[in-house]
């Protein structure tokens, strides 16, 4: 969902040629990334313990490693 929303925003920015939409898309993507890293990943680590650690080592993050 995060990638889809970012792609839609970037598509709109490209379609309408609006710099403000590009900036907004980047801000939204950064906010999504911070939410994943600072909220979702720690919650998954607490909830699933060692299984999460194994999974996180095998699978890359959604945006940046």
What are the mean pLDDT values of the chain's consecutive 10-residue runs (65 residues total)?
A: 93 94 95 92 94 91 65
Query: Tokens for 59?
Result: 């699978």
Give the rounded distance of the alpha carbon of 48 from its chain centre. Answer: 21
Q: Model-level pTM?
A: 0.77
Q: Residue 6: what pLDDT?
A: 93
Rounded CA gap, 37 and 15, in Å?
A: 31
Contact predicate 13/29, CB 8 Å: no
Q: Which of 64, 65, 63 is closest to 4 using CA atoms?
A: 63
Query: Is the backbone of residue 49 left (phi > 0), alpha (psi -120 to 50) or beta?
Result: left
């Amino acid at each position: 969902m995060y990638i889809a929303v970012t792609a839609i925003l970037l598509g709109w920015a490209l379609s309408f040629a609006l710099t403000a939409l590009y900036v907004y898309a980047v801000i939204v993507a950064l906010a999504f990334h911070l939410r994943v890293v600072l909220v979702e990943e720690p919650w998954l680590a607490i909830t699933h313990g060692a299984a999460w650690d194994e999974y996180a080592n095998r699978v890359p993050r959604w945006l940046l490693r």
